[in-house]
Amino acid sequence: MARIDLQAWLPILVLAALVAVVSLYDPGFFTIANLLEITANTMTLFLMAAGLTFVIMIGSIDLSVQSVASMASCILAVFLPTLGLAAIPLALLGGVVAGALGALISTRLRIPTFIATLAISGVVLSAGFWISNAQSIAITAEARDAWLGWVTGAFLGVPNEIWVGLVALAGLSALLQLTPFGRLIRGVGAQEQAVIASGVRVERVKLWAFVISGFMAALAGVTMAGRLGSGSPTLANEFLLPAVAAVVVGGTAITGGVGSIWRTFVGALIIQVVRIGMTFMGVSVFVQQIIFGILLIAAVAATMDRSKILVVK
């Protein structure tokens, strides 16, 4: 396969360096318990970013993932008492519908996805408020243990969230590496006209990319609701930009074509280690945002594959 050059390993090196820096400062950071803890905390961000990876890999963007996650948490919380386990697929269906809507508006009305998904996020936010009647809805402890154990519990000493994340990582990576759909995602991102000219229905590929993005955003919302024990129309606030950052910092090009799910897994961990690391290192609260901004630009500059991009807009 393609020769492994530094470019491919960079995200992992960056993550290792960051963990080393924080651990140097505070050895307590580098314990199995803590590393598991941090990984578990990262999973909701990873689930949302994993879905977003497909969309960014075809050179598009999905700004509705944050509202979709919040809406999914509301659907779950509202229908869990009545429908029980069926509330989960219902919440995921909500994400699928939102994703499909974003894709159809973009392909049919030929509107850039930035604007189409920005508009959809408004519509989905309204839906979230309507479903939850504008308040956060608690999920009773029994309901949580009965149907959300796969989120809240642990297995073999590892928090279930990590298992959910690993399953998603494996599943989506297989989808990307092993299936025709995955290959077409890479193709559309690298050279869309050539894929169209080869007789492929590109609209369908884009539709599925956004459906996966919606599905994963909803899964992130359900996981979040499981962790916090409630759903709310603003549960996933401040999740959109970190999710996009996780994808790009992992090395997936914002302009499409290059990327993978494991890169996003590492990217999400990098974002989390940077944010939590700064708390660990007692970096003053006032400086954290400055460092986060600088590291974001540096990480993008480092992981970008410039060979392909002629004009960087």
Partner 1 sequence: MSDAVLEVEHVSKAFPGVKALDDVSFRVNRGEVIGLIGENGAGKSTLLKILNGVYQPDAGAVKVDGRPVRLLSPRQAFDSGIAMVFQEQSVLSTLTVAENIFLGREQEFLRWGLIDKRRMNAAAAVELKKVHLDIGPATPCARLTFAERQMVEIAKALSLDSRIASDITILLDEPTSVLESREVELLFSIIRDLKARASIVFISHRLEEVLAICDRIYVMRDGKVVAEVPAAEATVHALHTHMVGRQLHHEYYREQRQSPPGDEVILRADGLGKAGAFRDVSFELRAGEVLGIAGVIGSGREELARVLAGHAAPDAGALTVHGRPVRLAGASDAVANGIGLVPAERKVEGLVAQFSVAENMTLSALGRFASRGVIRFAAERAEAARWVERLHVRTPSTAAMTGGLSGGNQQKVVLAKWRIAGVEVLILDHPTRGIDVGAKEDVYELVRDITADGLAVILLGDTLDEVIGLSSRILVMRDGAVTATFDAPAGGKPEQVRILEHMV
Partner 2 sequence: MAAQGLAGRAPRPASAMAQERRRAAAGGRLIEQWRRWAPVVVLIGLCLVIGAFNANFFSTGNLVRLLNSAAIPVVLCMGATFVILMGSIDLSVEGVVALAAVVASLLVANDVTAIAIGHLAIVPALAVGAALGFLNGWLHIRLKTPSFMTTLGMGFVGLGIATAILGGVTVRISDQSFRYLSLGRPLGVPMAVWVAALCVVVALVIQERTRFGRWVYAIGADEVTARQAGVPVERTRILAFVIAGVFAALGGVLAAAQFGQGHALIANGRLFTTIAAVIVGGTALSGGVGSVLNSVIGVFIVVVLANGMVLMGIPPYVQQGAQGLLIIAAVALALDRSKLAVVK
Partner 3 sequence: MTITTAAGGIARRSFLKGAAGLGAAGVLGAPFIVRAQDATWTLANSMRSVANPYHATFAKGGEEFAKSIGATYEVLVTEGNSEKGIADIKALLQRTGGKLILNVDPNDSPDARTIVEEVQAAGGFVVTQWNKPDDLHPWDHDPNYVAHMSFDGVPNAEAVANALFAAFGGEGGVVALGGILSNVPAIERKLGLDNAIAATGGKVQLLDFQPADWNEQKAFDITQAWITRFGDEIKGVFAANDGMGLGALEALRQNGLAGTVPVVGIDGIDAAVAAIEAGEFAGTVAWDPFWTGSMGLAIPYAHATGKIDITKEPHEHREFYGTGIVVTKDNVAEYKANPPQTDFNDLWGKATGQIQYRSA
Binds 217, which of partner 3, partner 1, partner 2, none (CB < 5 to 8 A, cut-off by type)? none
Can you tell me which of 187, 214, 231, 233 binds partner 1, judged by CB under 8 A? 187
Name the DSSP letter for residue 230: E
* Backbone angles phi and psi of 230, in degrees to 5: -170, 165
CB 225 within 8 A of CB 47: no
- Return the structure tokens found at 43: 């999973």
- Return the structure tokens found at 45: 């961000």
Which residues are at the interface with partner 3 (CB under 8 A)?
A: 10, 13-14, 17-18, 21, 24-26, 28-29, 31, 33-34, 37-38, 41, 44-45, 129, 132, 134-136, 138, 224, 227-230, 232-235, 237-239, 242, 272, 275-276, 279-288, 290-291, 294-295, 298-299, 301-303
Min dist. Cβ of residue 142 to partner 3 (A): 12
Residue with tokens 């963990």: 19
Q: Does 308 bind partner 1 (CB under 8 A)?
A: yes
Cβ neighbour number for residue 267 with a 10 Å cutoff: 32
- To the nearest 10°, report the CA torsion of 28, 30, 33, 38: 100
Helix (H, G, I), strand (E, B) or coil at 155: strand
Which residues are at the interface with partner 2 (CB under 8 A)?
A: 58-60, 63, 105-107, 109-116, 118-123, 125-127, 129-130, 134, 192-193, 233, 241, 244-245, 248, 254-256, 284, 286-294, 296-297, 300-301, 304, 306, 309, 311-313
Amino acid identity, residue 214?
Answer: G
Q: How many residues belong to the site for partner 1 (CB under 8 A)?
A: 24
Residue with smaller CB distance to partner 1, 7 or 308: 308
Residue with smaller CB distance to partner 1, 199 or 282: 199
Could you tell me how far CA 91 lies from the centroid of its own chain?
A: 17
Longest dimension (CA), the chain: 57
CA 224/CA 70 separation, integer angstroms: 9
Min dist. Cβ of residue 178 to partner 1 (A): 5
Q: Does 186 bind partner 1 (CB under 8 A)?
A: yes
Residue with smaller CB distance to partner 1, 79 or 181: 181
Q: Does 57 bind partner 1 (CB under 8 A)?
A: no
Angle at the Cα of 236 from the Cα atoms of 234 and 67, rounded to 5 degrees: 70
Residues that bind partner 1 (CB under 8 A): 1-2, 174, 178-180, 183-184, 186-187, 190-191, 193-201, 257-258, 308
